[in-house]
A and B are shown apart, each in its own frame.
Chain A
Amino acid sequence: GENVEQHPSTLSVQEGDSAVIKCTYSDSASNYFPWYKQELGKRPQLIIDIRSNVGEKKDQRIAVTLNKTAKHFSLHITETQPEDSAVYFCAASPGFKTIFGAGTRLFVKA
């Protein structure tokens, strides 16, 4: 089955800096890669996703890249703000089951 590894587990950045979170997956059948943001005590919220036929996708300050050959994908947040502080989860799906990484706790210091 699919296995998703996520690094780092904790990331602390200064406000305005960039943050990068990296994930690898094992199942070459995975073709959908969403990223979720979870604030304390709340449900995970989808922030961006990418499919395997695309190498990069941007949405304002957030971008995702996918290297299908190497089976890794990354989340990039530019110009970080204190409200970006949360836990971020990457995930991989072969179409019927989504497997999540262990999460990255991002702290943005003002």
Chain B
Amino acid sequence: NAGVMQNPRHLVRRRGQEARLRCSPMKGHSHVYWYRQLPEEGLKFMVYLQKENIIDESGMPKERFSAEFPKEGPSILRIQQVVRGDSAAYFCTSSPGQGQGNEKLFFGSGTQLSVL
């Protein structure tokens, strides 16, 4: 049973380019969360998605950032026109769903985004 899969592991972009980060949840998990970790800082919630639905995007910047979790395929976090301040580790986690016993988060290995 594969864990949460994220790719790429490392992504280098120049300022103004687009970054696409992918996350495949654990098998059987229908909930995906994205977190951002700036250097030497904690994990900041960005967005919570279920299949074809954004449930909570309160942690995501209003501009340049978007996320989706289509019916088929991985969840995508998209950052348009990247700036140096976007450089961070982006972690995806998944859980089976709501309800007691389902809050345990399983983290992917993360995507380290570096903006030159």
Contacts and interface: CB of A to CB of B under 8 A. Distances in A.
Contacts of B41: 102-103
Contacts of B43: 44, 89, 100
A51 B105 contact: no
B108 interface: yes
15 contacts: A32-B100, A34-B103, A43-B91, A43-B108, A43-B109, A44-B43, A45-B107, A51-B100, A89-B42, A95-B100, A97-B48, A98-B33, A98-B105, A100-B45, A103-B42
Nearest to A102: B42
Interface residues of A, number: 23
B45 A98 contact: yes
A1 B57 CA distance: 13
Contacts of A32: 100, 103
Interface of B: 33, 35, 41-45, 48, 55-56, 58, 91, 98-100, 103-105, 107-110
A46 B110 contact: no
A31 B100 CA distance: 9
Interface string A32-69: 10100000001111100101000000000000000000
Given A32-B100, A95-B99, 19 more contacts: A34-B103, A34-B105, A42-B109, A44-B107, A46-B105, A49-B104, A89-B42, A89-B43, A96-B55, A97-B48, A98-B33, A98-B45, A98-B105, A99-B45, A100-B44, A101-B42, A102-B41, A102-B42, A103-B41
Interface of A: 1, 6, 31-32, 34, 42-46, 49, 51, 89, 93, 95-103
Nearest to B31: A96
Report the 8 A-B pairs with minimum CB-CB distance, sorted nearest first: A102-B42, A43-B107, A100-B43, A32-B103, A103-B42, A93-B103, A44-B107, A43-B109
